[in-house]
Amino acid sequence: MLLSIMEPIAPDNYVAFTFFLGYIAMFAASIFFFVERGSVDKKWKMSLLVSALITGIAAVHYYYMRDYNLATGDSPTFFRYVDWILTVPLMCVEFYLLTKLAGATKKLLWKLIFASTWMLVCGYIGEAFNPGGDAATSHSVTWGILSTVGYLYILYTVWIGEVALLAEKSNSETIKKGVRSLAWFVLVGWAIYPIGYMCMDGGWLSSIMDPASIDVWYNIADAINKIGFGLVVYTIAISESNKQLAN
């Protein structure tokens, strides 16, 4: 049975605290992005709606994961992947929406969605179905490599592939800089996830970092990545809308 939001958190329970902090931050961000849809040109409203959905979905999951962690003391692996399987593809959708005016096609959209889904499904199999013992390393490495294939495809696409080329074609410095900023989030911000994966039993970093503490880093990185993604999109939408008004 889950606890109420009023259930006290022990001062030294940093995992539960960062779940709660992540919930509050992403809930506030979701309201902000949704309200700000009224401040941008209609062609950017969908981008801000997607940003609001990303942080809103994450906020709901963080509310639940905080209570789950307090009630059981376990890491909410399943619920975290449910959150990611919904929000990470939406983050990839933002690349399509930002470059749509420059000629991005639905084919690009579905390739990004497929790559992100592949990355997460393989990661979940590697983490949730880890057999432990002598087979742990082989299992985690195999599924980790398969997951990395999806990640590398996204990384390639947004840095030098189709998304990057479309951003250049847009003839908008705001969109070029914005897409490059989002690409940095994918390169640097998303790096916490494979690092966390390698900290589990059988992972290459399992002897360096305590798997029990990785939730703290996941929570902080999640909030920064999701809110940061949305703020970059918001900056692009406001700048382009103001430019439209000036003309």
The number of residues in the chain equals 247
How would residue 1 be classed by pLDDT, with cut points 50, 70 and 90? very low
CA angle 93, 94, 95 (to 5 degrees): 90
Return phi, psi of residue 109, to 5°: -55, -50
Taking only the tens place, the pLDDT of each residue in 135-170 is 777 888 899 999 999 999 999 999 999 999 999 999
- Please state which CATH class domain 14-246 belongs to: mainly alpha
Angle of helix 77-99 versus helix 162-169 axis, rounded to 10: 40
Q: What is the pLDDT of residue 12?
A: 77
CB 119 within 8 A of CB 155: no
High-pLDDT (> 90) share of the chain, %: 68
Q: Structural domain boundaries of the chain?
A: 14-246
Predicted TM-score (pTM) of this structure: 0.91
Checking if the pLDDT of 50 tops 90, the result is yes
**Token pair of 193, please?**
């996830």
Instruction: Report the distance separating Cα 129 and Cα 148, nearest Å.
Output: 17
Joined tokens for residue 111: 């390739």
> How sure is the predictor about 104, in pLDDT bands with cuts at 50, 70 and 90?
very high
Higher pLDDT, 52 or 214: 52
Query: For the chain, where are the alpha helices, taking DSSP H only?
Result: 14-35, 42-72, 77-99, 106-128, 136-159, 162-169, 173-187, 192-197, 214-246
pLDDT tens digits, 178-210: 999 999 999 999 988 888 777 766 566 666 666
In this prediction, residues 42-48 reach a mean pLDDT of 95
Q: Please check whether residue 155 is in contact with residue 212, taking contact to mean a CB–CB distance below 8 angstroms.
A: no
**CB-neighbour burial class of residue 10 (10 A; exposed 0-12, middle 13-18, buried 19+):** exposed
Gyration radius of the chain over CA positions: 19
